[in-house]
Amino acid sequence: MRHPARQLAALALALLLASGSVLAKPSNKWRLEFSGAAESPGEIVLRIAPIGGEPIDVTVAIEGNDGENRIAGKVRDALKAALKADYRLERDDGEDVLVKRRWGRPLFEVSLASSTVKAVRIHFDRE
């Protein structure tokens, strides 16, 4: 006999695990690695989610043909303006952005909320 409720629950669990949200782990420092040049103008929306706090969405306008170094610079500048004194922002190797919490601030997660820019890849590394 089939159990549709069990099958539905198993499917929901599989989708949650596949999304990565269940497996996300907060950190005190994140490295955002950008690769590829923008093949279209658009927006990248990054979500900074401190543990126990409200998530902050930061929108970054990207022009067509922006390279990975230019995109990393725009992202760093937008994050610095939005996150103020709670975080330190740096660029590393031109195409990487480091996001570090200041002492006493909670651990946090960084994720891609949305992107309308074609051909730009972002890899998120906890450090």
Name 29's bridge partners. 100
pLDDT at residue 53, rounded to an integer? 95
CATH dotted code for 25-126: 2.60.40.4390
Place of tokens 């929306």: 45
pLDDT at residue 41, rounded to an integer? 98
pLDDT at residue 84, rounded to an integer? 87
Phi-psi sector, 17: left (phi>0), alpha (psi -120 to 50), beta? alpha
Give me the tens of pLDDT residue by residue for the chain, a chain 127 residues long: 555 655 544 544 444 434 444 446 999 999 999 999 999 999 999 999 999 999 999 999 999 999 999 999 999 999 999 998 899 999 999 999 999 999 999 999 999 999 999 999 999 999 8
What contacts 105, CB < 8 A, 6 or more positions away?
50, 86, 87
Output the DSSP codes for 44-87: EEEEEEETTS--EEEEEEE-TT--HHHHHHHHHHHHHHHHGGGE
- The pTM of this model reads 0.81
What residue ranges do the domains of the chain occupy? 25-126
